[in-house]
Amino acid sequence: MSALLEVKGLQVHYGGIQAVKGIDLDVHEGELVTLIGANGAGKTSTLNALSGLLKPAAGSITFAGQPLAGMPVHQLITAGLALVPEGRGVFPRLTVAENLAMGAYVRADQAEVRKDLDRMFGLFERLHERRDQKAGTLSGGEQQMLAIGRALMGRPRMLLLDEPSMGLAPLMVQKIIAVIRQVAAEGMTVLLVEQNARLALQAAQRAYVMEGGRISFSDTAHACLNDPRVRAAYLGE
């Protein structure tokens, strides 16, 4: 079976800085895969190249059989790839409900959009309670939920999540991860970038470990959790 997302030899450069030095990575339909690695390993650069925010210096990105490398963001969204960026990027002066509606702006099926809105409020109880509140007044964790919900409102085929746990209190981190697992369990394909390796490995089926712009290790999440190198370098053991 071919992968939904297939990345080969991906390179990302910032001028003379080679942030991503030729990586291969696959995600199959319905999989929850994590990309872990330390500060500066190149995780965000990889996701930004996958989502069209950065133009790869080299390599191919194939999504659902279609070559995507170098395509503009709006075409990637239409193809079904949705990025929830680091730092979230909700619209602070719009309400929760308005932010969610923005996620569906490319869709014409209004009745289905309303159904999905209800589905989001079912998935994120907090957002339902705060539906008429301005997004800028939400807590960090609530904004993260909103950013995920907004991405889902576009009915993507795959979600790219950049460090959803960043800066959140432990209880909120657990909630966010539970939601990501539920979304994946319902069939969504997810690539989860995390610095919190333990958490990511507990949630994902497979993992890629990134170091200095390269994939240094890749296996099932279970095997990574038990690998002495991963444990020493990323799990503080």
Ligand X SMILES: Nc1ncnc2c1ncn2[C@@H]1O[C@H](COP(=O)(O)OP(=O)(O)OP(=O)(O)O)[C@@H](O)[C@H]1O
Whether residue 183 contacts residue 159, with contact meaning beta carbons closer than 8 Å, is answered with: yes
44 near ligand X, judged by CB under 6 A? yes
The contact mask relative to ligand X for 160-199 (x = CB under 6 A, - = no) is -----------------------------------x----
User: What's the closest the beta carbon of residue 109 comes to Mg ion, in angstroms?
Assistant: 34
**Sequence-separated (6 or more) residues with CB below 8 Å from residue 198:** 225, 234, 235
Q: With CB cut-offs between 5 and 8 Å by kind, which of Mg ion, ligand X, none does residue 45 bind? A: ligand X
- In this chain, which stretch among 38-46, 66-74, 168-176, 216-224 interacts with Mg ion, using CB under 5 A? 38-46
Do the Cβ atoms of 28 and 189 come closer than 8 Å? yes
Q: Is 51 in the site for ligand X (CB under 6 A)?
A: no
44 binding Mg ion? (CB under 5 A): yes
How far is Cα 96 from Cα 180, in angstroms, rounded to an integer? Answer: 19
E-assigned strands of 103-234?
Answer: 158-162, 189-194, 206-211, 214-220
Left if phi > 0, otherwise alpha if psi is -120 to 50, otherwise beta: which for 134? beta
Is residue 37 close enough to count as binding ligand X by CB under 6 A?
yes
Token couple for 179: 């939601």
Q: Quick one: what does residue 88 bind among ligand X, Mg ion, none, with the CB cut-off 5 to 8 Å set by partner type?
A: none
- When binding is defined by CB under 6 A, the residue of 2, 9, 14, 106 that contacts ligand X is 14
Give the pairing type, strands 158-162 and 189-194. parallel
Of the listed pieces 35-43, 104-112, 141-149, 223-231, which binds ligand X according to CB under 6 A?
35-43
Instruction: Identify residue 174 by its one-letter amino acid code.
Output: Q
Which position among 11, 42, 168, 179 is part of the footprint of ligand X (CB under 6 A)?
A: 42
Residue (41 or 153) nearer to ligand X, CB: 41
Q: What is the largest CA-CA distance in the chain?
A: 51
Identify which range of 43-51, 87-95, 103-111, 183-191 contacts ligand X by CB under 6 A: 43-51
Question: Which residue from 25, 31, 33, 45 is in contact with ligand X, where contact means CB under 6 A?
Answer: 45
- CA-closest candidate to residue 43, choices 151, 234, 195: 195
**Beta strand extents in 78-233 (DSSP E only):** 81-84, 158-162, 189-194, 206-211, 214-220
- Contact map string, positions 192 to 231, toward ligand X, x by CB under 6 A: ---x------------------------------------
By CB under 6 A, residue 39 contacts ligand X:
yes
- Going by C-alpha positions, the residue among 139, 148, 155, 162 that lies closest to residue 92 is 139
Contact positions vs ligand X (CB under 6 A): 14, 17, 19, 37, 39-45, 195
